[in-house]
Structure formats: C-alpha cells, structure tokens
Amino acid sequence: MPEDIISLIQENVIQGRMTRDDEGMDEGIVGQPGVTELVEKALASGLSIQDIITKGLSGGMNIVGQKFEAGEYFIPDMLASAQAVGAAMEILEPHLAGSGVNAKGKIIVATVKDDLHDIGKNIVSILLRGAGYTVKDLGNNVDIQVIVDAVREEKPQFLGLSALLTSTMARMADVIQMLEENGLRDQVKIVVGGAPVSEEFAKSIGADGYGADGFQAVAVVEALSSGTEN
Amino acid sequence: MPRKGILVDRPYERLTREQVELIHQASMQILTDPGLISFNREAVDILHSHGAAVESIAGDHQSWQVKIPEQVVLSAIDSAPKTVKLGARNPDNTLIMHGDEPRVYLVTGSETNIWLDVDFPTYVNKADPTREIRMPEFKPRRGTVDDLCQSAHVCEHLEMVDGYIRTVNIQDRDITEENKDVNKFFASLNNNTKHFMSGLTSLKQLDNVVRMAELIAGGKKALEDNPIISFITCLVKSPLQFVDDTTDTFIEVCRRGLPIVVSSSPQAGTTAPIREAGIMAQINAEVLAGITLGQLVKPGTPVLYGSVPVRARMDTLGDSYGSVETSQYNIDCVQMARFYGLPNYSTSGVCDSKIPGQQSSIERLFSDIVVAMSGPQYLHCAFGLLDCNSVFCLLQAVLDDAHFKMIELFLRQPRIDQTELEAVLKQIREVVATPQKLYIGYIRPVLRSGEISGLYPFEGGGEADDVFELAYERMKELLARPVEHIDPETTARIFEEIPGVLPRLNIYERGD
Ligand code: B12
C-alpha cells in the first residue's frame, strides 16, 4: 500500500512526530512509526522521492501552516512538525541527486559576536530545516572570522545573521564588510534578523533580506532562492 | 531614615513549606548533576579551589562543566548578608532590606530600546461634525540620553518609586559602547536622588562609574557607607550556563564590595521546563550558583536574590510577562529567597501590550497586586514598561504610580483590636439610638487622618474617559517641578575626572 505510507508520512508531520517514541496531538499513538521511520520505509519500498517530499512532507507542512494561521496550532506544534521534516530531509538528502527534486540549498546561521541571544535564531533554524533547507548552525557569540571561514569552506547559498542587542547589530555590518574584503560577498545571499533589526537597517548594511520572525525568515529565503527579491 | 516601602503584614504564599524544601533539594541536585557549564575561566578556578568538580568541555568556545557541592552553596548562603542597604544621594531615600521582612520597595526598570511619545490629536465625528474628541496617539522612537534624564526627573517626583533602575537604552549618535555607561549613570544620578541601579555595558567603564559615585557620595568610604549605586548582572544564561563577559563584570563588582543583584531570567517552555516545578528548581539553582560565586569572590558581598522568571508565549515563543504563570513563578521565587533569608529582587507589572490601554492596565495591575502581596523586598515593578520590556512610556509610569498608591493603601495592616472595637461598638449604640441612624458624623476624624483612600486620581468629568489626558497633565506638571541636581562643584569634578560624559549633560555650562 505505497499510497498509505505517503499519507501516513503526511499525517505524522501534522502530528509533529519525528520518531516512534514521540507523542503527537492525539492520544495513544506512541510506539507507532513516526516520520523518520516512515520515510526509511518509503525509501525501502522504492517510492518516488518526489512524492515523499511534495505529498508527504510538504503536504503535511502546508496543513500545519493552515492550522497555525487558524489559531488551532501554536508555535511549539509548528516546530515539532518542522523538526520532523528536517530529520526526514536529512535521510533523503543522499537520494536527491537524480530524483528530479532539486536540493533547496544550504544556509549557515549564527548569532553574532558578543551576543548570546539564540532562542530566535534557533527557531529560524528549525523552520528553515522544516522548509527543506540544509542548515548549519554556528551557535551564538560567533567570531566574525569563524563566520567568514564557514562561508569560504561550506559555500552555502545563504547566510543568516541574528542580533538582539543594539550594540551587536553593528557586528552584522562587520561580517558583510569582511566577506567583501575576502571576495566572498557575491557567493552568498545574506539575511538578517533579531528584535532591534529592521528592514531599513538591513538595507543600510547591504544585506539581501530581512525577516521579522521565523516565518518571514523562510519567506525571504524562498523569495531570494527564486530570485523574486531584489 | 530609610524609605518606608510597603510592609506586607501576612505575605501571600503559594507554596507550602514542604514544597519550598522540595525545590531547594532539587536545585541542590541540579548543581551537581548536570551542574553548570561555565564559559568563564575565572569562575571555574574560583569554584574549583573551593571544592567544585570541574571538567573541560570540547568545542569552539572554551567551556567547563562545573559541579558545585551542596555544602559550598550552603556556606555561601550563610555568608551572604541577610540585610542589604542601598544608599541614595538623598539619605532619606535609603533602602534597607531584611531577607526575613516582607517590606516591599518599588523600583523602575529596564533597558528598553523604544521610547513612546504621546500626543492627543482631535477627531471629528463623520455623522455630526460638531462633535469632536481627542484620542491619545502613541509614537515609538529610539531612546536617547535626554529621554533618560526626563524619565529620571519624573521618577524623582513619583511618590511610590523607591529606587531607580535606568529605564531606557540610550542610542544617540554620540553614544558608543565606551561612553554609554558613564552617560547613563550621570544622566540618572543627576536627575534623581533615589538609589540608582544599572547593568554595565562595558567592564572597562566600571572604575569610571564607581569613581563618579565616589565623587557624588563624598569619597570612597562615604560610598561604602552609602552605596548610592548598585549593579544588576545576568551572569547565568538559562539553562545553567555562566556567561563569559557578564561573569567577569560580576566578579569585579563583587571584588569592590558594591551591592549586586544576581538575576536569572529563564523562560518556561524554551530555556526552562514549562512545568512550574521545573522552572523553579532550575532558576533557584541558577541564582544560588551566582550567589555562591559572589560569596567566594568576597564573603559578605551584599547581594540580592534576583528572579525574572517568565513563561513563553505560545504564538511566538517570545516572553509573556502578562501570563498568570509568570506571576506565580515570581511569587514562588519570593518564597525561595525568604527561605534562605536573602533579600529578593522580583518582577511584576511588565505587560505584553504594546501601548497603554485596557490590556496594559489589566496585565500590569494583576501582577503588581499579587506579586506585591507576596512581599519581595525589591520589586522591579516595571513603571512605564510595555511590550515585554521593549518599550518605555512616561505617561504609563505616571499611571502606575497612582495605581501603586492604591496597592499601598490596600496592603496596610488591618486595625482591629480591643480598643478599636470598643470605640466602634460605642458608635453603633449611639447611632442606632438617633432618629437619622447615620454614621456620617464619625467620618471626619478618619478622613483627616488620611486613612480613607481617594477617588481614582484621573477620573474625568461626565461620561468621557479622560484618564490619559489627565495623567499627561500630571506628567507635564512633574516635569516642570525642579529636581535637586548634583552640585556645581561636584559636577565640575565629574567632567574633569571622568572621561566620556557628554558636555551637553552639564547643566551648569548650558546656561539653564
Ligand atoms: C530572553 C532574553 C535574554 C536571555 C537570552 C536567552 C537565550 N538563550 O537567548 C538572557 C537572560 C541570557 C539575556 C541576556 C541579556 N540581555 Co536579553 N533579552 C531577552 C528577551 C527578553 C527576549 C529575547 C527572545 O528570546 N525573544 C523571543 C524570540 C523568539 O524572538 P527574537 O529573538 O526576536 O527572534 C525572532 C525574530 O527576531 C526573528 N529573528 C531572530 N533572529 C533572526 C535571524 C534571521 C536571519 C532572521 C531572518 C530572522 C531572525 O525570528 C525570530 C523567531 O520569530 C529580550 C527582550 C525582547 N523582547 O526582545 C531581551 C533583550 C534583548 N536583552 C537585553 C539585555 C540588555 C540583555 C543583557 C545585556 C542583560 C544584562 N544586563 O546582563 C544580557 C546580554 C547578554 C549578551 N551578551 O547577549 C535588552 C537589549 C537592550 C539593548 N541594549 O539592545 C532586551 C531588549 C531586554 C530589555 N529591554 O532590557 N537576555
């Protein structure tokens, strides 16, 4: 019953269950396979990667998004689903080549030097993973040099910088300048965020995009991927 | 004579003695398993030399796992003073806090990025253009040094404000990381004679602000006797991590023996368990770890048990200070501090609402009443703060002051004793025997003694809700009232000796 596996994947994304040990929204499902086990099973059954991703994972995530919009789901629900999708994408990644599905791209995220605020950045990472991106999180209080080195070595399509203090916002500009000095600026699109950061500030330091929250973070990265953002 | 504060007669308690002890035991377990992660080398060395087990953790940033044995924590609690004095430029504004006495002092806070201006544009009714109303309009902008001066000025005159924590983050173009501290200290101290507490932006500025305080207090010894300034540090990042730079600051302040708040601000749901038992066991462990470090640096350092627990919003995972759980956690912390006999820094009145209005009034008043009832010694009760610590509005601070006046009256001790009852029984018998059967004749002596609470101070005429306009008038009135600035001679010395204070803050050189 291949179709069933896909709809089970979708259902478990909606339930926010990464593995069989996870609780979902409904009672009594602990012990039944979660998204990661189902994706393994789907691969073993030879189901198309395209279907697993678009019908199963993204299909589930779309419904989660609708439930969130409707006020039925809260952020913790959304994050559980996004984490399940993120884990599934890790399993699928080696199989993407030749499957007809293009990898969405890699993004490096970091909270800048001298700033320890990371709750928002972590949420952004989870939602980006849930949207199918490969995320490398460098943590908080990250040296400019470490960020620049990571961009050079990992060659990500995107760099996401977070700052929550008015004093550390300026470090974002320093990162951009240092990337320029190292001839790396054109290789990567830079998005910035954090409570004191604004659209104007992002423009003023030469970032490519700004997101006021986790959803806008995904939206701005999606827009930059498809080239609709300028 | 210290300030009176509000002495809470029989403080409200949520936890039973047994629950308090269970939390204490859980915290002690946390401090050895998993212990804390320290990103600060010196803290590790100090704790290690007093018996903590230490292990280096591999990773990009140097860090260590630190396990603090119960005995070390208990003897630190022992050596921490049970009475803490916070001085003031005007000695009548001194605050004296005993860990076992539920006397509540009300203070402002925090460092908001946004300052909210208010204006009252007139609106015309479309259906009947002869009818007009004025509605408040709130306009956010970035905070400046001038705003900080204004806020300190108004808070000087707000009767219920016992101490001043800098309210707004100064973001003028000429403010840098290097001169921010000296300017926030000078702007606040020069416009307010109450106790001043602040965080430090740069450790390099510590000696400058201490020197400034010495000049104002009248010397090193005078500052020791009358600590007109104190510090607040969030050295533990939840869950259970000693942060590198703030821990440096903390250690240096302790070395100088100035009063300091060890505060922790876990968020239930993200950086602490969403369950009450979990956030309580964790925050208590975090604060005790900080206090322990401070006492090891310098035994007897005056310290406040600082608690800023908060529950996460389920729609953004930002803070929800307006949630009822946030007040519950705060009250639990008051009880924990009292269990240890340490004066407590607590939090109330921060609201989720972005502007003054119904939501903000209800959220802040709710927590102000219940947390004040539990009897914390030093209550950061968020005068003027909105949007979870992000916005400061002076008009709101004026409103908060009036509301705290009501809370103060509410919390006064009941006067019910034998003499009182004999007097009222006499009244009852007398009145019942008269043809009118009214007690009006007995009101006046009580009225004159000031024991009867007043009308709502911003009640308008007629049916209109004039609260904001009347509060605004009051705010302007308070701004027009002079404050006692630092004298010209001391001011001159501050500008001579302390680098970085903006010349435009020197009122004697400005010609006004
Ligand atoms: C929680 C918190 C802390 C915690 C941090 C815990 C942690 N693990 O992150 C602790 C207690 C450690 C802390 C410490 C301090 N804090 Co603090 N903190 C906050 C607080 C209350 C909430 C921040 C938060 O987590 N919000 C919830 C998340 C979900 O929202 P968010 O971070 O904004 O992220 C969202 C968006 O911004 C966006 N986003 C974020 N990053 C990115 C990145 C990209 C690429 C994109 C596209 C989008 C994006 O999406 C996110 C998800 O929706 C804020 C107040 C506030 N309202 O912002 C103060 C605040 C930021 N802190 C402040 C201060 C002053 C400090 C301290 C200096 C306190 C002290 N005296 O010790 C220290 C500094 C430590 C340091 N060096 O960094 C001030 C800053 C004022 C200023 N000068 O700018 C604030 C504004 C509070 C205040 N009014 O006083 N803090």
- Number of domains present in the structure of chain B: 2
Are A154 and A187 in a shared domain? yes
Note down the domain range covering B439. Answer: 418-448
- A93 has a pLDDT exceeding 90: no
Three-state secondary structure call for residue B7: strand
Instruction: Using the CB atoms, write b or e for B157-179: b if 16+ within 10 Å.
Output: bbebbbbbbbbbbbbbeebeeeb
Residue B98 within any structural domain of the chain: yes
Q: Which residues in chain B have their CB less than 8 angstroms from residue A119's CB?
A: 267, 270-271, 317
From the list A174, A145, A176, the residue with the least C-alpha distance to A159 is A176
Domain containing A11 — which CATH number?
1.10.1240.10
Query: Residue B68, CB half-sphere, CA atoms under 13 Å: how many?
Result: 29
Are A144 and A184 in a shared domain? yes
Q: How many Å lie between the centroid of ligand 1 and the Cα of residue A41?
A: 41
From the list A53, A72, A70, A71, the residue with the least C-alpha distance to A13 is A53
Residues A77, A94: Cα–Cα separation, whole Å: 28
pLDDT tens, position by position, B305-319: 999 999 999 988 999
Q: What percentage of residues in chain B have a pLDDT greater than 70?
A: 99
Average pLDDT over every residue of B340-360: 94
Q: Which residues in chain B have their CB less than 8 angstroms from residue A164's CB?
A: none
Q: Touching check for A136 and chain B: CB below 8 Å?
A: no
Q: If pLDDT is split at 50, 70 and 90, which confidence band does A101 have?
A: confident
Are B236 and B96 in a shared domain? yes
Q: Do A75 and B237 touch (CB under 8 A)?
A: no
Are B432 and B400 in a shared domain? no
Residue B296 within any structural domain of the chain: yes
Three-state secondary structure call for residue B104: strand
Q: How far is B201 from chain A (nearest CA, A)?
A: 9
- B340 has a pLDDT exceeding 70: yes
Instruction: Using the CB atoms, write b or e for A74-91: b if 16+ within 10 Å.
Output: bbebbbbbbbbbbbbbeb
Q: Give residue A169's pLDDT.
A: 94
Q: Specify the ligand 1 atom closest to the Cα of B264.
A: 11
From the list A4, A111, A118, A10, the residue with the least C-alpha distance to A64 is A10
The dihedral through the CA atoms of B362, B365, B369, B372 has a sign that is positive
Q: Which of B141, B264, B315, B387 to mutate to test the interface with A (most CBs of A within 10 A)?
A: B315
End-of-domain residue from the set B388, B410, B432: B410
Are B289 and B426 in a shared domain? no
Integer CA distances (angstroms), A15 to A9, A32, A57, in order: 10, 12, 12
Average pLDDT over every residue of A88-106: 85
Q: How far is B315 from chain A (nearest CA, A)?
A: 5
Average pLDDT over every residue of B399-426: 95
End-of-domain residue from the set A95, A114, A143: A95
- B410 has a pLDDT exceeding 90: yes
- A164 has a pLDDT exceeding 80: yes
Are A199 and A114 in a shared domain? yes
Are B327 and B425 in a shared domain? no
Are A164 and A184 in a shared domain? yes
Decide if B161 contacts B199 (C-beta within 8 A). Answer: no
Q: Give residue B495's pLDDT.
A: 97
From the list B372, B371, B352, the residue with the least C-alpha distance to B362 is B352
**Would you state the structure tokens that stand for residue B362, as one six-digit string?**
């209800």
Angle at A78 between CA A75 and CA A84, to 5 degrees: 140
From the list B228, B170, B168, the residue with the least C-alpha distance to B194 is B228
Residues B410, A138: Cα–Cα separation, whole Å: 52
Q: Which residues in chain A have their CB less than 8 angstroms from residue B315's CB?
A: 74-75
- Number of domains present in the structure of chain A: 2
From the list A57, A210, A37, the residue with the least C-alpha distance to A133 is A57
Q: How many Å lie between the centroid of ligand 1 and the Cα of residue B267?
A: 12
Residues B39, B235: Cα–Cα separation, whole Å: 10
Note down the domain range covering A46. Answer: 2-95
The whole-model pTM stands at: 0.89
Q: Do A114 and B245 touch (CB under 8 A)?
A: yes
Nearest CA to ligand 1 atom 20: B319
Q: Do A139 and B245 touch (CB under 8 A)?
A: no
Q: Do B243 and A116 touch (CB under 8 A)?
A: yes
Q: How far is A227 from chain B (nearest CA, A)?
A: 28
Whether B294 lines ligand 1, by a CB cut-off of 6 Å, is: no
From the list B163, B158, B150, B159, the residue with the least C-alpha distance to B107 is B163
One-letter-per-residue 3-state SS of A101-149:
CCCCCEEEEEEECCCCCCHHHHHHHHHHHHCCCEEEECCCCECHHHHHH
Nearest CA to ligand 1 atom 37: A194
Q: What percentage of residues in chain B have a pLDDT greater than 90?
A: 89
Residues A33, B291: Cα–Cα separation, whole Å: 47
Decide if B346 contacts B378 (C-beta within 8 A). Answer: yes
Decide if B481 contacts B164 (C-beta within 8 A). Answer: no
Angle at B415 between CA B411 and CA B421, to 5 degrees: 155
Query: Measured between CB atoms, which of A116, A139, A167 is closest to B237?
Result: A116
Are A113 and A196 in a shared domain? yes
Q: Give residue A230's pLDDT.
A: 43
Query: Measured between CB atoms, which of A76, A196, A213 is closest to B314?
Result: A76
Residue B30 within any structural domain of the chain: no
Average pLDDT over every residue of B61-82: 96
Residues B351, B459: Cα–Cα separation, whole Å: 23
From the list B160, B215, B148, B232, the residue with the least C-alpha distance to B188 is B148
The residue that leads in pLDDT, B463 or B288, is B288
Task: Look at phi and psi of residue A113 and say left if phi exceeds 0, alpha if psi is from -120 to 50, else beta.
Answer: beta
Q: How many Å lie between the centroid of ligand 1 and the Cα of residue B242?
A: 17
> Which neighbouring-strand residues pair with B311?
B268, B320
Are A117 and A212 in a shared domain? yes
Q: Which of A166, A174, A204 to mutate to test the interface with B (most CBs of B within 10 A)?
A: A166
Q: Give residue A229's pLDDT.
A: 47
Q: How far is B371 from chain A (nearest CA, A)?
A: 27
Residues of B with CB under 8 A from a CB of A: 60-61, 113, 169, 171, 177, 201, 237, 243-245, 267, 269-271, 313-317, 390
Q: Do A167 and B113 touch (CB under 8 A)?
A: no
Q: How many Å lie between the centroid of ligand 1 and the Cα of residue B113?
A: 12
Query: Measured between CB atoms, which of A123, A166, A195 is closest to B171?
Result: A166
Q: Report the run of H or E that residue B140 belongs to, with start and end.
A: strand B137-142
CA A71 to chain centre: 22
Three-state secondary structure call for residue A172: helix
Q: Give residue B499's pLDDT.
A: 97
Residue A46 carries which side chain, given as an amino acid letter? G
Which residue carries 């601000």 as its tokens?
B265
Domain containing A120 — which CATH number?
3.40.50.280
Q: Which residues in chain B have their CB less than 8 angstroms from residue A167's CB?
A: 177, 201
- A residues 145-164 closer than 8 Å to B (CB): 146
Q: How many Å lie between the centroid of ligand 1 and the Cα of residue B270?
A: 13
Residue A100 within any structural domain of the chain: no
Domain containing B360 — which CATH number?
3.20.20.480
One-letter-per-residue 3-state SS of B170-216:
CCCCCCCCCCHHHHHHHHHHHHCCCEEEECCCCHHHHHHHHHHHHHH
Burial class (CB in 10 A: 0-12, 13-18, 19+), B42: middle
Residue B467 within any structural domain of the chain: no
Backbone angles phi, psi at B354, to 5 degrees: -90, -20
Nearest residue of B to residue A195, measured between CA atoms: B390
Q: Give residue B376's pLDDT.
A: 98
Q: Which residues in chain A have their CB less than 8 angstroms from residue B243's CB?
A: 116
Residues B276, B251: Cα–Cα separation, whole Å: 31
Q: If pLDDT is split at 50, 70 and 90, which confidence band does B509 have?
A: confident
Are A78 and A132 in a shared domain? no
Q: If pLDDT is split at 50, 70 and 90, which confidence band does A2 have?
A: low
Nearest CA to ligand 1 atom 84: A165
Are A42 and A74 in a shared domain? yes
Are B427 and B303 in a shared domain? no
Are B292 and B437 in a shared domain? no
pLDDT tens, position by position, B37-55: 999 999 999 999 999 999 9
Q: Give residue B511's pLDDT.
A: 57
Q: Give residue B389's pLDDT.
A: 86
- A residues 10-39 closer than 8 Å to B (CB): none
pLDDT tens, position by position, A179-229: 999 999 999 999 999 999 999 999 999 999 999 999 899 999 999 988 754
Whether A75 lines ligand 1, by a CB cut-off of 6 Å, is: no
Average pLDDT over every residue of A123-127: 92
Are B137 and B224 in a shared domain? yes
Q: Do B245 and A74 touch (CB under 8 A)?
A: no
Residue B475 within any structural domain of the chain: no
Nearest residue of A to residue B241, measured between CA atoms: A116
Are A110 and A221 in a shared domain? yes
Are A119 and A221 in a shared domain? yes
pLDDT tens, position by position, B180-200: 999 999 999 999 999 999 999
Residues A96, B19: Cα–Cα separation, whole Å: 54
Residue B68 within any structural domain of the chain: no
Q: Touching check for A177 and chain B: CB below 8 Å?
A: no
Strands B103-107, B378-380: pairing kind: parallel
Residues A188, A207: Cα–Cα separation, whole Å: 10
Nearest residue of A to residue B388, measured between CA atoms: A195
Whether B319 lines ligand 1, by a CB cut-off of 6 Å, is: yes
Q: Do A139 and B60 touch (CB under 8 A)?
A: yes
- B131 has a pLDDT exceeding 60: yes
Whole-number average pLDDT of chain B: 95
Decide if B73 contacts B35 (C-beta within 8 A). Answer: no
Residues ≥6 apart with Cβ < 8 Å to A60:
A9, A10, A11, A12, A13, A14, A81, A85
Are B263 and B341 in a shared domain? yes
Residue A101 within any structural domain of the chain: no
Decide if A156 contacts A108 (C-beta within 8 A). Answer: yes
